[in-house]
């Protein structure tokens, strides 16, 4: 038996989330690698699943947890043997396949990547999908020719998981990073990660003109809606904007003007189904380029039982940085 958060759908359509015990027989039959989970996380999507605020879960009952790291304890997959250290992000885990907010999981070996030798399971989950997505955004900006000499980089949702890691990565690479946040009390925290300027999210969150004063050489946006539209409208000629989130909304009330008059590029960033080669590249860069001291500043460790109470907080924007779940605590 092992501890897990289990989600069930009530008759009225609401979600029942509770800490319980499961056994091996309740794990998915289509997994070919059984793992011991040491650490997991609470991401925005996990918050939606646990609270039932959005139809994230497609199969019931479900163990949430789109991220996990630990060791393999049994495998019929040729690439994995007992004792291998792994990282899991995405692939519908926690939505259609039981996830990692549990002490044990049964996953598909093709979904796993080796944990870098210089990275602990805890640090891997302090990064998690949020940090891995931030690296995908940073890599995309570099690939589009945005250099540290191109101009300021805007990071929206700056005090959240994606934003915090994006600031740490980009500032570490020598970029001048401007942080947009609704928590101006977090200026000191954002500065400690590498932001040279902090602006109020209200500057971006309301409807604005299709073309605005050019400010940004590049953007990492995890907010969507009017924030993304205004960031694009303020992006400099030939600049690039990466979009990876929807904290403000799924809508995109935009104009084509920035694209056809300034040559702005909008790049969608998907972390869930990203090819394995892309994942490996991102995690190797995280292992080599992300300042561990900065990572520790943004990480808060909680227990499996505490994860239930924290799920609504992450949706309400009350969580700073990253929540690391010690599933054995």
Task: Reply yes or no on whether the pLDDT at 143 is more than 90.
Answer: yes
The answer to whether residues 190 and 108 belong to one domain is: no
Q: CA distances (Å), 325 to each of 17, 102, 125, 127, 161, in order?
A: 16, 10, 8, 12, 14
Q: 46, 311 in Cβ contact below 8 A?
A: yes
Residue 276, domain member (yes or no)? no
| Number of domains making up the chain | 2
- Is residue 194 domain-resident? yes
The C-alpha angle 132, 138, 143, rounded to 5 degrees, equals 125
pLDDT of res. 224 = 98
Q: Can you tell me the mean pLDDT for 201-206? A: 97
Residue 18 is assigned to a structural domain of this protein: yes
pLDDT at 168: 98
Is residue 36 in a domain?
yes
The answer to whether residues 13 and 99 belong to one domain is: yes
The domain containing residue 171 runs over which residues?
Answer: 129-268
**Can you tell me the distance from the alpha carbon of 203 to that of 78, in angstroms, rounded to the nearest whole number?**
52
In this structure, how many other beta carbons lie within 10 angstroms of the beta carbon of residue 270? 11
User: Does residue 122 belong to any structural domain of this protein?
Assistant: no
Predicted pLDDT of residue 297: 96
As a whole number, mean pLDDT of residues 76-87 equals: 98
pLDDT exceeds 90 at position 155: yes
> Is residue 81 located within the same domain as residue 159?
no
pLDDT for position 153: 98
* pLDDT, position 157: 96
Place of tokens 């590249």: 281
| H, E, C per residue of 169-230 | HHHHCCCCEEEEECCHHHHHHHHHHCEEEEEECHHHHCCCCCCCCCCEEEEEECCEHHHHHH
Shared domain for 11 and 106, answered yes or no, is: yes
Query: What is the model's pLDDT at position 117?
Result: 95
- 217 and 153 in a common domain: yes
For residues 289-317, average pLDDT: 95
Based on the fold, state whether residues 111 and 183 are members of the same structural domain: no
Q: Is position 20 within any domain?
A: yes
DSSP letters of 65-80?
Answer: -SEEEEEEEEE-STT-
Domain match, 7 and 64 both: yes
Does 237 score more than 90 pLDDT? yes
Q: Is the pLDDT of residue 54 over 90?
A: no
CATH number for the domain harbouring residue 239: 3.40.50.720
203 occurs within a structural domain:
yes
- Does residue 287 register a pLDDT over 90? yes
| Predicted pLDDT at 115 | 98
Does residue 133 sit in the same domain as residue 264? yes
Q: Work out the average pLDDT over 57-75.
A: 97
Residue 12 shares a structural domain with residue 111 = yes
- CB neighbourhood size of 277 (10 A): 8
Q: Can you give the pLDDT at residue 111?
A: 97
- 65 and 111: one domain? yes
What average pLDDT does range 95-121 have in this prediction?
Answer: 97
Calculate helix-pair angle for 161-172, 121-143, nearest 10 degrees: 70
Please state the pTM of the whole predicted model: 0.95
Mean pLDDT over each residue of the chain, to the nearest integer: 96
> Which of 220, 252, 268 is at the close of a domain?
268
pLDDT of 317: 85
In a domain, 280, yes or no: no
pLDDT average, residue stretch 125-136: 97
- Examine the domain organization and report whether 134 and 263 are in the same domain: yes
**Domain containing 78 — which CATH number?**
3.90.180.10
Residues 111 and 137 in one domain: no
Pick the last residue of a domain from 253, 268, 283: 268
């Amino acid at each position: 038996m092992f501890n897990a958060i289990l989600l069930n759908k009530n008759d009225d359509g609401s979600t029942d989330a509770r800490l319980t015990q499961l056994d091996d027989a309740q794990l998915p039959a289509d997994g070919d690698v059984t793992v011991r989970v040491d650490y997991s996380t609470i991401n925005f999507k996990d918050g939606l699943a646990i609270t039932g605020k959005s139809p994230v879960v497609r199969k019931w009952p479900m163990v949430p947890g789109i991220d996990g790291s630990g060791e393999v304890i049994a495998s019929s997959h040729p690439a994995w043997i007992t004792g291998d250290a792994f990282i899991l992000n995405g692939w519908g885990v926690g939505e259609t396949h039981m996830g990692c907010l549990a002490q044990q999981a049964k996953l598909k070996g093709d979904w796993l990547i080796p944990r870098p030798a210089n990275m602990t399971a805890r640090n891997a989950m302090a990064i998690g999908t949020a940090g891995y997505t931030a690296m995908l955004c940073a890599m995309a900006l570099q690939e589009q020719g945005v250099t540290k000499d191109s101009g300021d980089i805007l990071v929206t949702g700056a005090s959240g998981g994606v934003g915090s890691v994006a600031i740490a990565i980009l500032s570490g690479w020598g970029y001048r990073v401007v942080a947009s946040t609704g928590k101006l009390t977090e200026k000191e925290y954002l500065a400690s990660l590498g932001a040279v300027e902090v602006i109020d999210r209200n500057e971006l969150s309301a409807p604005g003109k299709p073309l605005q004063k050019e400010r940004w050489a590049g953007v990492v946006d995890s907010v969507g809606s009017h924030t993304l539209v205004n960031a694009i409208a303020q992006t400099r000629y030939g600049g690039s904007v990466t979009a990876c989130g929807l904290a403000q909304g799924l809508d995109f009330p935009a104009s084509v003007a920035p694209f056809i008059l300034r040559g702005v590029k909008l790049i969608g960033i998907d972390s869930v189904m990203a090819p394995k080669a892309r994942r490996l590249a991102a995690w190797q860069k995280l292992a080599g380029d992300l300042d561990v001291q900065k990572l520790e500043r943004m990480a808060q460790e909680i227990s499996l039982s505490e994860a239930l109470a924290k799920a609504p907080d992450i949706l309400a924007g009350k969580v700073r940085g990253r929540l690391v779940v010690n599933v054995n605590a």
